[in-house]
Structure 1
Amino acid sequence: MTQTFIPGKDAALEDSIARFQQKLSDLGFQIEEASWLNPVPNVWSVHIRDKECALCFTNGKGATKKAALASALGEYFERLSTNYFFADFWLGETIANGPFVHYPNEKWFPLTENDDVPEGLLDDRLRAFYDPENELTGSMLIDLQSGNEDRGICGLPFTRQSDNQTVYIPMNIIGNLYVSNGMSAGNTRNEARVQGLSEVFERYVKNRIIAESISLPEIPADVLARYPAVVEAIETLEAEGFPIFAYDGSLGGQYPVICVVLFNPANGTCFASFGAHPDFGVALERTVTELLQGRGLKDLDVFTPPTFDDEEVAEHTNLETHFIDSSGLISWDLFKQDADYPFVDWNFSGTTEEEFATLMAIFKKEDKEVYIADYEHLGVYACRIIVPGMSDIYPAEDLWLANNSMGSHLRETILSLPGSEWEKEDYLNLIEQLDEEGFDDFTRVRELLVWRPGRITVGTPCVSVN
């Protein structure tokens, strides 16, 4: 069998695909390749899902069909290992009171009488970051999946990389502030960790560039020419009428980040894609394949025009939109000829072990602590990486202003309504309570309950993999 090795991976694509598919089959999953896209040469993307549980799906991208499939399967293990497929749902009383909710090594911290955050959770640095004004209470940190106040706060163990000490971080904080950022799976520990750290840099630098309206230097043509497959993809897009601009997003060689912008002259809109990896060529390829992941050429008319309103661009809601689907606003300043940083022909590549050390050195230089949770219970290495102050998708104040478990105390009441004999006044009182507690009028009932309607058979892999 042909063996295909690509930079950044510690195994041949064929071996990765065969291993991941076999592991998923052994776990009881029936994975199907639901859709493929190859809109331009050297850009592939695939959507895979479990036949029995449509909630369990991932997308993959790559310069070849095999690379895209390996990417999707790796992401599937990433999300299985971190329980992310069901991160937005209450899992019910049986799981909430079972031997464990998330992992066997989780630790529960009972609520205190004065509702302080219990000792043993977080370290001093994390407490100062998440709760600088001492506004956080223990009851705010009940995890959404269990909703079990009687059991207390569920803390997951992370290894603090500066001294290899174990720190317990509430699942509530992980789910509210970090969502899927910093999660990764791979052929080896170092490969996956490099990918997870690269993702943290990608989104941190992307947010800085967008929020601060930073002007980036273009990548010179002679540098792009080193990567003919990428150039062919770009030239094909331009021949189809979409001007492409490739930028060095390293901010003067500090970070391994690339930015590629696609313009649609038909409606004056643009779309900025970002990618990161210690290897310049890998980062560039990822940025271009990300540009078209899940999109055909006919799907490139749904973005927004650049704007001169830098305040609107910097708003957190706009950055959140960029995190979700990259369709947010971009400042015209990004495209100024006079860039804020010089072009740097950077390259941090090496073995995956060397690349991990290089990326960790950048965090150390920034005085940022890195916390990593390792997961190998499914037979494939995966991790979740948290870098407070860099990998946060949502601000810490969301823990008390927009916590995802804010409606959990209403679950029993609302679920009992179909069989209740309430009077009109009772319903009015409930509406008044919802108003007083600040719930958005447009919040769906299922979102308030963090509940998935429809039939999911208990015992299917997507429910029982833990």
Structure 2
Amino acid sequence: MNRYLQDINVTRKDRDPLSTIKVIKEELKKRKVKTRIVKILRTKHFYSVRLELYNIPGVGVNGKGINLRYAIASAYSEFMERFLSGFLLKASYFNKDRDNFSFDDELICDSYIFWSEFNTIVDGYLFPNIKEREYLWNAIKEDEKFRKKAPFYDLISGQKIYLPITLINYVTHTNGLCAGNSAEEALVQGICEVLERYCYRTIITKKLSVPIIDVGQSLDEKLGWLKNWGYTYELRDFSLGIFPVVGLVIYDKKGNYQINVGADPIFEIAVQRCITELFQGLSKRQLKYKFKPLNSCYEEYEEFYGSSFVNSNWMKCYVSNNGMVAPTFFLNTYSILKDKLPFVNKKTNSECLQYLIGVCQKEKYNIYVKEYTKDHFKVYRVYIPGLSEVDLLNDNDFARRILFEKLKEVYFNPWSIKKTVNEYRECAMDIRCMILQKPSNCFNADNYRLSHYFDLDFKNLFIISAYLSGEESILQRYYEGISTKNIKKEIDKLMKYLKPPRCPNCNECFLNRKCKYIEWKKVMEKIYY
């Protein structure tokens, strides 16, 4: 199997892995950015590599491949993709620097001009589920970062067009970010990623049942090692009848399942991507903890929480692949021949790119590309309106995001609190915050594990907020039967243990010796030079 998949993969790389690694290392050295490999995992035919910034532990990317060289090259490529696009380092330390970094080609518009220029794409694609436009309009009017626009290249018309980059990032996250040895190699990966996520999202949120693919004896034999490990598997048609996307469903002996999705014009490479994604960052032993029971409570959750659960569950699939599918997914036992699916046998990235453009053009989708390339290694964002959006925010979701913006300052310095109790209470009771979002993720602090404070959930932040605001009645409600004096004593002890930050007051902050703010700022500045 290893040789089989390697032979396919080599024809689609425009530079050998060692050359790729060398080129990227030279570019990083030029910017004085140091990295280190902190973990290498080998699982049967596949490798997974963790690459991080040398001076900021925890900030990095994962790479995967069919041998160690490809996995390391994959990690460095992913690193450049996130680094040059500004997505590697989240905009943390909000009380020190508030989104002060912009690319030279980004422009900030007057709010009325911005709205008149982009209302069609904002209403039609980015935020179609927001009914109360006032939320959106107020955010755009009050915060200039939402009014940024940047140049994109239209792959179909060949024209340059400006698009609202911050709002695009807001709902697409890293979906469509891509890097490669050539423009064609990078763009094929970027478009495939968008198609992969779109098909997965559609199947999850619409509760579709899709057929099993009859792969034939040859490929079945090459995947036989999964059966030797005690797993059974199915390849399912995730194409929606249009796009070259496949889903790999693996079952353990108890009937629990796991799904991974891959996209590529060549069927075997799409399958390979399912498998490498399956093992990314996981050992064989760790893999068993990713399986989910077939008899999930999907329908009960949906009935109780409605669309909030559907969106939250999909985002769990997107972020960590820990979401679930509806029971209807498994109802279809009909099989379809591989030859009936929209895969082709193209030899080069240039041919594959033209094929993908043709598929999107036929379905009347535009493909816009934003370039982040600095030197020799190509980095882009692919945006396909109607396909790229992963976070389908409704009114409540968007209101929550704006609420997070207001809470950031307090989160990084709880002593600056005035009246935030109700805001934290709202988060503590929210389905999305309870089952999906951690505060450290919402406020972009999850890579900076400096104290136990960043492990708190919204309920505990609500209690601290009540304590610092002097809301004794709330504390009494949560600590029934305990005197206010003793409650405050216990929370005082807890605060000393948690060591919350006091940003931007470095001299008073418990974390000033551990804080990576200076290193963070140095790296951020090197992205934009």
**Fold match (TM-score > 0.5):** yes
Q: 166, 174, 179: which one pairs with 1:180?
A: 174
> Partners of 1:77 and 1:383 in 2: how far apart?
10
TM-score, with structure 1 as normaliser: 0.81
The answer to whether the 8 Å contact 2:132/2:395 transfers is no
Deviation at 1:284? 1.5
Q: Which structure has the bigger radius of gyration? A: 2
Deviation at 1:16? 0.9
Deviation at 1:450? 4.5
> Partners of 2:444 and 2:288 in 1: how far apart?
33
Say yes or no: does 1:66 pair with 2:69. Answer: yes
Could you tell which deviates more after superposition, 208-217 or 302-311?
302-311
Deviation at 1:131? 5.2
Correspondence for 1:373:
370
> Partners of 1:236 and 1:169 in 2: how far apart?
47
> Partners of 2:215 and 2:71 in 1: how far apart?
28
Deviation at 1:185? 0.3
Q: 206, 216, 221: which one pairs with 1:221?
A: 216
Question: Structure 2 vs 1, CA of residues 23 and 294 (structure 1 numbering), >3 Å: closer, same or farther?
Answer: same
Correspondence for 2:3:
none
Q: 269, 273, 293: which one pairs with 1:286?
A: 273
Question: Structure 2 vs 1, CA of residues 405 and 26 (structure 1 numbering), >3 Å: closer, same or farther?
Answer: farther
Percent identity (aligned): 21
Correspondence for 1:423:
none
The answer to whether the 8 Å contact 1:185/1:381 transfers is yes
Say yes or no: does 1:260 pair with 2:255. Answer: no
Which residue identity lines up with residue 233 of structure 2 in the other structure?
I
Could you tell which deviates more after superposition, 75-84 or 238-247?
238-247
> Partners of 2:406 and 2:296 in 1: how far apart?
44
> Partners of 1:414 and 1:177 in 2: how far apart?
23
The answer to whether the 8 Å contact 1:269/1:305 transfers is yes
> Partners of 2:98 and 2:169 in 1: how far apart?
18
Which residue identity lines up with residue 265 of structure 2 in the other structure?
P
Structure 1 gap ranges (5+): 143-147, 421-425
Correspondence for 1:111:
111
Which residue identity lines up with residue 177 of structure 2 in the other structure?
M
Correspondence for 2:305:
none
Structure 2 gap ranges (5+): 1-5, 303-308, 449-500, 502-514
Question: Structure 2 vs 1, CA of residues 246 and 307 (structure 1 numbering), >3 Å: closer, same or farther?
Answer: same
Q: 227, 230, 240: which one pairs with 1:241?
A: 230
The answer to whether the 8 Å contact 2:403/2:423 transfers is no
Alignment of 1:322-361 (within 5 A): 322-336=317-331, 338-339=333-334, 342-343=337-338, 344=340, 346-361=343-358
Say yes or no: does 1:461 pair with 2:461. Answer: no
The answer to whether the 8 Å contact 2:40/2:48 transfers is yes
> Partners of 2:346 and 2:275 in 1: how far apart?
19
Query: Which whole-Å deviations, capped at 9, do the CAs of 1:101-159 have from their partners, x for residues lacking one?
Result: 221000101335xxx85333x373444334555715444248xxxxx836772222222
The answer to whether the 8 Å contact 2:367/2:384 transfers is yes
The answer to whether the 8 Å contact 1:193/1:356 transfers is yes
Say yes or no: does 1:430 pair with 2:420. Answer: yes
The answer to whether the 8 Å contact 2:213/2:337 transfers is no
Question: Structure 2 vs 1, CA of residues 125 and 176 (structure 1 numbering), >3 Å: closer, same or farther?
Answer: closer
Which residue identity lines up with residue 383 of structure 1 in the other structure?
Y
Correspondence for 1:24:
28
Q: Secondary structure at the match of 1:119?
A: helix
Deviation at 1:92? 6.0
Say yes or no: does 1:394 pair with 2:391. Answer: yes
Instruction: Give the paired residue count.
Output: 436
The answer to whether the 8 Å contact 1:202/1:275 transfers is yes
> Which has more helix, going by share of residues?
2
Correspondence for 2:282:
295
Deviation at 1:216? 2.1
Q: Secondary structure at the match of 1:356?
A: helix
TM-score, with structure 2 as normaliser: 0.72
> Partners of 2:318 and 2:72 in 1: how far apart?
23
